Amino acid sequence: MFEIGFATIIGAIVGVFLLLVVAYLLIGATLITAEVVMTAQRDMTEVQTDKTGTSITIDEHLIAENTTLYVLVKNDGTTVIKNPLQMDLFLATDTGTQTREEWQKIGITPDLINPGFLDPGEVLNMSVSIDELSPPIWVKVATPTGTAASAYL
């Protein structure tokens, strides 16, 4: 009789141990899932904050010798544009065509706080080659977050 009772106790101990291991695994998986969800929500909040804080305007433009267009883009938002080279520039002509153009960075003024970044209040000077025979009549500049500014030339 002693052997039957001892086997029952061992079986109960193993069962409780397995129950604790399963509970530990479920709680761990739940905590990891909650952490992943919170991180994703925080990242989306940061993206949304960057998007709502980003604002640009086209201050000036100049066509030099009918071959080069210079566009001055001011960051008048509250968010730093960390990589202004990722901005897109679009031109439209009087024929109705709109094309994305490759542009060159002439400089950022004043570029004192974060060199290379387009901080609030700073102005980016962009240049793009244009066709003498079909000059653009409209320019649009868009940031990596999707904020855009446009102007007629």
Task: Examine the pLDDT at 8 and tell me if it is beyond 70.
Answer: yes
Average pLDDT, the chain: 90
The 10s digit of each residue's pLDDT in 14-26 is 999 999 999 999 9
How far is it, in rounded angstroms, from Cα 22 to Cα 32? 15
**Rounded average pLDDT over 134-142:** 92
Helix (H/G/I), strand (E/B), else coil: 130? coil
Q: Are 132 and 67 in contact (CB under 8 A)?
A: yes
- How do 68-75 and 88-93 pair as beta strands? unpaired
Both tokens assigned to 123: 């102005």
pLDDT tier for residue 2 given thresholds of 50, 70 and 90: low
pLDDT higher for 50 or 70?
70
How far is it, in rounded angstroms, from Cα 57 to Cα 120? 11
Whole-prediction pTM = 0.68
